[in-house]
Chain A
Amino acid sequence: MAETNSNSNINILLVDDEPLVLQSLSATFRRQYNIFTATNGKDAIEIVRQNHIHVVLSDQRMPGMLGHEVLRVIKTISPSTIRILLTGYSDLDAIMNSVNSGEVFRFLTKPWKIDQLRDTVGAAVDIAQKVGQLYPSKADIMRTSGADPAEIAEQEEEAPPPPSGQKEGLLIVEFNKEQLNTMMQVFGKKYQVYPASSINEAFDQLSKHDIYVMLTDLNLNSEDGIDFLHAVKQEYPNIVIILLTQVRDALLAIKSINEFQVYRYHVKPCAVEDLDKTIQSAMNRARTYRVQPLKNVAYVAKEVAPQLVEKQVTEKTNWWREKLRAAKKLFGR
């Protein structure tokens, strides 16, 4: 646990079991921010309890608590802290887990590039400052109550009630028509389901209807799918995206977090109940976003750190964005 002085009032916490990595990272950021360091999860959590931390950057593989576990606890203690996970590609399970428990703002892979690292942390700091307005006191409450963070179950913030009288829009993108029909039957009762069996159909539905949640089986191995989702998240940050795919692929999971802040990553085949639960909580999340856009990291990121977002954009994404924008104007939404 170390603390370096700087004139900044931004606190960032670096967690890694390797002191030399901590020294290197400290040297990277010490001129801009106040640096806290911890060599294990327990210390890191203690620091978050004692201090207002804007951004935490944690290694995944550490003795004792793993990085994503640490981030999960930190999320409950200090929801406004933006969490970044530093990982090798070999940690597939950890990556999938952390995607699905929503602790992570960005994944950075080792070995990292200093510019990318600085950009990501910088954007995270901006977002944290913006989001911080939302939770002025929560961290303080947690700090004083001193509850064991490990015992705090991950709790969904209370979402606003569903709008009465009308069903929320659920866009299902699925190439297999049979499966699409099955899913429509299953979820048709609860939600206003809009089916799409291609990217173009999805685009049409997006342009014409008010979508809360997007359940998609875009073939994300093709750049097309990723670009499209990226563009969708840019133009409609409030849509919550759930991925339903056949492949467990760490690279894909990392991309889906980093590029369109995927909400959940489900591997097919999955149980209907699980998917239903996920959609339900995604709907809650979508309603929250509509009421409190500041809770939406993707939205805030777009607002306060457009430069980070723009860096990831490809030509194809821009093409989709233009299209989406034009459609928005046309349909007046």
Chain B
Amino acid sequence: MAGNKKEQQAGFRFVELIIFSVVFLALVASVFVLNIIISKDSQRDAEQIFCATKQSEYWQRAYRNLIRIQERLAELSLIDSTQTAQIADKSAQLDTAFFAYKRSISVFDSTVAALDAGGILVFDGVEYDVAPVTNPKARSTIEKEIQKWKESRDILLDLAQKTENPRQTDPIQLEKAIDFALQNDELILASNRDFIVRLGELSTEKIKNLQLAQVVALVVSILVFLGMAVRLTISLRKQAKIIQESQSQLIQNEKMASLGQMVAGLAHEMNTPLGFVRNNIEIIRENDREFQEAVAASANVLKSLVAGNYNEAEKLIPATLEKLKNIEKIGLIDENNMMITNSLEGLDRIQELIVNLRNFSRLDQTATQLANINQCLDSTLVIANHILKRHMTVVKDYGNVPNIVCAPAQLNQVFLNIITNAAHACEEKGEGVLRIKTFVEKDQAVVQISDNGKGIPPEIINKIFDPFFTTKPVGKGTGLGLSISKKIIEEGHNGKITVKSKVGHGTDFFIYLPMQTQLAKEEKVFSESAPALN
């Protein structure tokens, strides 16, 4: 059930992560798309502006040439036909103006059409695909111009196109065209100017909007990113908490397991003295009954003698003597003495066990204290006796190790763990030797716990300190013993635990503990710097 829930949670987290990433990517992508759209818009605007500029230019050209055509026509009408040279000169000028006008006005027309409805313009061999002006604001600036042009464009275009010979230009048409030009020159130029200005304004507005959109998108994506980060952090924390909880649960289990081990050991060790002490006391009580009988009989004899009742005494004496003899014969006094001595020894043993229990668990002392490693090992050996008793010979090789600052109860847990493993390693063999050596090396106290059991195969020796690694069958070991031991030694004591093993020959565990021989004390008397007293 719990596992399922965890899986579900993990699934949720996964989905959440995907959603966050999708949102983030969509924001980034939308900014890009916006950019592309706007840049296309800008390109279109630029083309329209180009178109409008060209329109103005060609309008002015057309206008100028129109005026020139009129002037030349007027001049030509004034010159008499004899002055052929002058006529030719003016005709040429008229022709030039006429053709310039013709071209200019048609270009102008196409630019107006292009702005109105779209179209392709060619200038200097380059094609410009001008889009129709759709923006109402921009359109309003040129709407009037287009309208005017549409009304009168036939006049101005016909003027240039209907006639092959500029000199035969219809003066009425020309008059009309000039009229239009004069009336609308201002309008056309102003419209174009306004249009360009409006487009500029519009594009500034667009750029502003784009910037705003970009900023908004950036802010939103930062927010999304932050949200994602926060969510992930929270869920990681949660996960870490769950892991920590389950870990502490397991550590608790392991603690309970080692407690169980200790209790089993203790129960077994106590059962034996308890058994014989109880038995002895029952025997003493039985014997005591016989003593009492003998004492009572003797008392009766004495009473009779004191009272001078010799006949009575004589009658009682044989039975009493028999009782006394019997006590002597069976050796009841010796037996009782022995039973009492043995019982006292049994009680001493129980007491010793209790002391050892205290030494082992140190529940009544501070966790960290100055302690003797050798004593710790001894009390652990008592607790482990029931595991070792059957098949292990214990060889102690204790060196002169000064008391060091440590957490003895935790160290005992480590020792018990390694000793238990050693006993298990020798189980198949049927008998084994557990060698415990302590010595000082440089600035470290070293405990070496060796067995001559089956050893640890090289392929798993790197894993033995890993949590949950166990070679024992399911339910027999938590696989946490050594990992907790490592934690106790390395994190709790700043020490080191190493292992050497040879399959078939045995295993050596080395525990290195720093030789800190003084408890960290508050050396200073005063909490602040010493005040000057004089």
Chain A residues packing against B (C-beta within 8 Å): 17-18, 20-21, 23-25, 27-28, 31, 61-64, 66, 88, 90, 110-114, 117
Contact = CB atoms under 8 A, between A and B. Distances in A.
Contacts of B267: 88, 90
A66 B386 CA distance: 13
Interface residues of B, number: 25
Given A61-B386, A66-B390, A88-B271, A24 B264 contact: no
Contacts of A112: 275, 278-279
A21 B275 contact: yes
Given A61-B268, A90-B264, A24 B276 contact: yes
Contacts of B275: 21, 24, 110-112
A20 B389 CA distance: 17
Nearest to A16: B272
Nearest to A19: B342
Nearest to B281: A114
Nearest to A118: B282
Contacts of B390: 61-64, 66
Contact of A110 (B271, B330, B338): B271
B272 A110 contact: yes
Contact of B339 (A17, A27, A66): A27
**Among A64, A90, A113, residue most surrounded by chain B Cβ atoms (within 10 Å):** A90
Nearest to A115: B282
B345 interface: yes
B346 interface: yes
Interface in B415-461: none
Contacts of A27: 279-280, 283, 335, 338-339
A120 B274 CA distance: 20
13 contacts: A24-B276, A24-B283, A25-B276, A27-B339, A28-B282, A28-B283, A61-B389, A61-B390, A63-B390, A88-B267, A111-B271, A114-B278, A114-B283
Contacts of A21: 272, 275-276
Nearest to A18: B272
Consensus secondary structure, chain A interface: loop
Contacts of A24: 275-276, 279-280, 283, 339, 342
Interface of B: 264, 267-268, 271-276, 278-280, 282-283, 330, 335, 338-339, 342, 345-346, 386, 389-391
A31 B271 contact: no
Contacts of A110: 271-272, 274-275
Contacts of A25: 276, 279
Nearest to B276: A24
Given A25-B279, A90-B267, 18 more contacts: A18-B272, A20-B345, A21-B276, A23-B276, A23-B338, A23-B342, A24-B279, A24-B339, A27-B283, A28-B279, A28-B282, A31-B330, A62-B390, A88-B268, A110-B272, A110-B274, A112-B278, A114-B278
A89 to B, nearest CB: 8
A62 B338 CA distance: 24
B110 to A, nearest CB: 99
Contact of A111 (B274, B335, B339, B389): B274
B74 to A, nearest CB: 128
A23 B389 CA distance: 21
A111 B330 contact: no
Contacts of B342: 20, 23-24
Contacts of A113: 278
B276 A20 contact: yes
Nearest to B346: A20
Nearest to A27: B283
Contacts of A66: 390
A64 to B, nearest CB: 7
B335 to A, nearest CB: 6
A113 B283 CA distance: 11
Contacts of A64: 390-391
Contacts of A28: 279, 282-283
A111 B283 contact: no
A62 B268 CA distance: 12
Contacts of A62: 390
B279 A63 contact: no
Nearest to B284: A27
B257 to A, nearest CB: 14
A60 to B, nearest CB: 10
Given A24-B339, A61-B390, A90 B268 contact: yes
B388 to A, nearest CB: 9
A21 B272 CA distance: 7
Contacts of B272: 18, 21, 110
Contacts of B339: 24, 27
Contacts of B279: 24-25, 27-28, 112, 114, 117
Nearest to B390: A63
A111 B278 contact: yes
**Which of A20, A23, A25, A88 is the most central at the interface, judged by chain B CB atoms within 10 Å of its CB?**
A20
* The 5 residue pairs across chains A and B that have the minimum distance between CB atoms: A24-B276, A111-B275, A110-B271, A114-B282, A24-B279
Contacts of A61: 268, 386, 389-390
Given A90-B268, A112-B279, A63 B274 contact: no
Contacts of A31: 330
Nearest to A108: B275
A113 B285 CA distance: 14
A31 B280 CA distance: 15
A62 B385 CA distance: 12
Contacts of B335: 27
